[in-house]
Amino acid sequence: MTSPFRRPRYRPPDVPLCQDLSRLRKPGTLVNQFRYGEIIKSAAAGCELCCILRDASKPFVTDGKEPTKDTVLDISLMNSGLRVHYFSGRQDVEIFSLKDVGVNAIPRCNIISDHTGSEAGFMRAVEWFLKCLNNHRDLCATMSSSERFLPHRVLDLETGSGNNIVLRDTHNQAGKYACLSHRWGNVRPLTTTRENISDHMRGIEWTNLPKTFQEVITFVRRLTIRYLWIDSLCIIQNDMDDWNLQSSLMADIYRNALITISASASNGPHDGLFFPAKEEHVHRELSRFNKRTDCRGIYVRKPIYHAKSHHPLLGRGWVFQERLLSPRILHFGPGELIWECIEDTTCECCGIHTRGLDGLDAKTRFHPYVLAALPSRECGDSWRSVVKDYTKLKLTCPEDMLPAISGAAKVMAEAMKLKGLQSKYLAGMWERCFIEDCLWTTNYPMESYRPAEWRAPTFSWASVVAKYGVEYRMADIFVTVLGESEDLPQNEQMTPSAKLLYSSCVLAEEQDAMGRVASGYITLSGSLLEATVHVGEENLSIDSFYVNVHGQRNLQFPGRFFADYNLTGEGKYQVDMESTVWCLKLVSLRLLEWKRQYLFCLVLKQVEIDGEHVYERIGLLKYQEGLEPPIERWFGSDLIEEYTVVKII
C-alpha cells in the first residue's frame, strides 16, 4: 500500500535540519528519521525552530524523563499542526500557532474548546452549520426532498411551559427540524407508549427527561430550530404497527432533517451530550515552559486520533444509516466536536481525515447523485462497501438486520433509477448485480452462526450473524483489474457461469419494501460439481473447513473454501463432516496480464422441504490457477452436471 506521506529525499549530514523542514509545505509531507541529539546541537547553535522542537515535549513530561540524544523521531506536517513522532514510545506532540509568528515551518491551526458544551464549541458548530447552509448547494441541499415535511410526530420545543416540551402530531405539515442520534444503552430511556402518549401530547416535564435529551434540547433551541425528532419519544415503542411504519420512513426522516445531533461519545441517555476535553489535547503556550519570549504565540498539544472506537454510538447498527443519510451531522465526541456533511468533513483541531472518522467511508460517496454518476459496476461496489461496514456493527435485536439498513437501500434504488436502471432488492442484495453480490464471505466463520429465528434466505449475507462482518474478497479482484473503467480490458475475460432465472422475496411488513422478509428463494442455472466437506484446522481462521471436489485434476493451487458459519455448530444448519455437498460454478475470471485464472463456486447443501429437493448456501469456494490448463479441463467431466437448475432458499 502506498504511504499517505510524501517523503523527501534522504537528508545528507551537511544539510541543516531546518532546511529539510522548510520543504514541509503540504499536509502529509514527512521528514526522514533523525535523532534528538541533532535538534539539541542545532538549538545550541541558535536555531529558533530547533529550540521549539527541542522543548515541544516539555509540557508533557510527567516522569522527569525527557527524550535522550539517541531518541529517534520524525516530523510531519498535518492539518492540525507540525507533528513530532517519537520512536521511544512517547506520545506524539503537535506544534502550531494561531497567527503568523515568523517561523515558516510552524503552521497556523485551530485550538479546540475545553468542553463540547462551551460557548466556544457552540460558536464553532454554528460556523460550520451556516457555512453548509449558505454555500453547499450542490449536494447537501439536494440530499433532502424539495418539500421538507415533518415526521409524523415531533417534539415541539417552544409550546411547553418553562423548559417542558410537547409531543405533537404534525399532520403532514412542512417545517424544519433536527434529529437526535443516540445510544439507548443498558438503561432504557424515556419512551412513548400507548399508555402515556396522551400525557406526552399534553407535555413532558423537564425533570423526566434523561440528561442527553435535556442537553440536546438546549443545544437545538440555541440553533433556533423549533422541532426535534427522537426515536424513543416520537415512535410508540409498544405498538408494532407504528414501529413498522416509522421504521419504513427512517430514510426520509434523517434525509429531511436540517441537522442531526449525534451523541457519539455517550454510552446511554443518562451520560449526557457534552463532555470535557482531555487536558493533554488542550493547547499550551510553549513559552510557559521554556521561558523564551520568542516562543510566545506557539502552542503544543497531544494530537487527537479520530477513531471510530472512541465514539461508542458509531458501533451500533441502526446508527450507521442515520449517519449515512443525514445531510449534516454534528458529532459530540469525547472532548471535541466533529462536523460531517455531504460536501465537507472537519473537526475542531482540523486533524480529521477528509474521508471522515477512521473506519468509516465519507458521506459524500453515498449521495444518490454521486452514486448515479458512477459506472454501474462501481455503483455496485459502493453498496458492497456499505454492507462490509454495516455488518461489523452491533444490533440489540438480530431481526433488525434488514430494517436497519433499509434506508440506505432506498438511496441506492433512487440512484439506480436516476441511471435509468431497475433492480429488484433481494434481502440485502440486488438482482442486477446478483452474481457479484454472491461473492460475500464471513470473517472468522467459527465465530459466525445462523440465528435461531430465521431472518433471510441463505443466499444473503443477512442470513448469518457474523461477529466480525462480511467481506467481498473476490469482488476486490474485479476492482483491481477494472480500475476506473466499467468494462474489462480486451485481454481480460470475466465469464458468468451461472444465470439467475427467478427470484422471490416475500415482505414481512408491506410498509417497508426493503425491510424484513418472511421468505425468499432464488433459482439459478449452471454446472454442479459433486464434493465433500471436511474439518480443517481447529482455530478461528478462515480455513476451518475445506471442500474436496471429486474428479478434480492435479491443480497447482488447492481450492480455498470460505464457510459462511461454523458448520459443526449444533442445530438446524449443522453440516455433517465428510457428507456430500454441491458446488455451483458461479463466475470465472481470466487475467492474461496476471497469468491467472479464478473460478468461484457457491457451496450448497441439499435439503428436502415438503417433498421438494432444494439447496441452502453454506459457503463460497475459490480456485486460483495459472492460464493453463483452461478451467474447462480442471474437473472430470463425468462428475459435472453441465446444466442444472437449483433452487436456493
For 567, other C-beta atoms within 10 Å of its C-beta total: 24
Instruction: Give, in degrees to the nearest 5, the angle at Cα 399 between 429 and 257.
Output: 75
For 596, other C-beta atoms within 10 Å of its C-beta total: 15
Are 281 and 113 spatial neighbours (Cβ–Cβ below 8 Å)?
A: no
Q: Distance between CA atoms of 522 and 525, rounded to whole angstroms?
A: 10
User: Where does residue 444 fall: left (phi above 0), alpha (psi -120 to 50 degrees), or beta otherwise?
Assistant: left
Contacts of 400 (CB under 8 A, 6+ apart): 317, 318
Looking at residue 10, its pLDDT comes to: 35
Tell me the pLDDT tens digit for each residue of 197-237.
999 999 999 999 999 999 999 999 999 999 999 999 999 99
Q: Distance between CA atoms of 46 and 56, rounded to whole angstroms?
A: 16
Q: Distance between CA atoms of 110 and 211, rounded to whole angstroms?
A: 29
Are 326 and 315 spatial neighbours (Cβ–Cβ below 8 Å)?
A: no
Looking at residue 3, its pLDDT comes to: 37
**To the nearest 5 percent, what fractions of the chain are helix, strand and coil?**
30, 30, 45
Looking at residue 22, its pLDDT comes to: 62
Residues of the chain with pLDDT under 50: 1-15, 484-486, 540
Find the Cα–Cα–Cα–Cα dihedral 254, 259, 265, 271, rounded to 10°. Answer: -90
Looking at residue 469, its pLDDT comes to: 95
Tell me the pLDDT tens digit for each residue of 414-432.
999 999 988 999 999 999 9
Task: Give the global pTM.
Answer: 0.87
User: Bridge-partner residues for 84, per DSSP?
Assistant: 75, 93
Quick one: 383 exposed, middle or buried, by C-beta within 10 A (0-12, 13-18, 19+)?
A: buried
Strand 81-86 versus strand 93-97 pairing type: antiparallel
Are 184 and 203 spatial neighbours (Cβ–Cβ below 8 Å)?
A: no
Quick one: 137 exposed, middle or buried, by C-beta within 10 A (0-12, 13-18, 19+)?
A: exposed
Are 464 and 410 spatial neighbours (Cβ–Cβ below 8 Å)?
A: no
Are 464 and 444 spatial neighbours (Cβ–Cβ below 8 Å)?
A: no
Tell me the pLDDT tens digit for each residue of 367-397.
888 898 888 878 888 999 999 999 999 998 8
DSSP single-letter state for residue 504 = E
3-state secondary structure of 127: helix
For 409, other C-beta atoms within 10 Å of its C-beta total: 22
Of 400, 424, 402, the C-alpha closest to 412 is 424
Q: Distance between CA atoms of 340 and 324, rounded to whole angstroms?
A: 10
Q: Distance between CA atoms of 291 and 559, rounded to whole angstroms?
A: 68
Handedness of CA 497, 527, 476, 513 (dihedral sign): positive
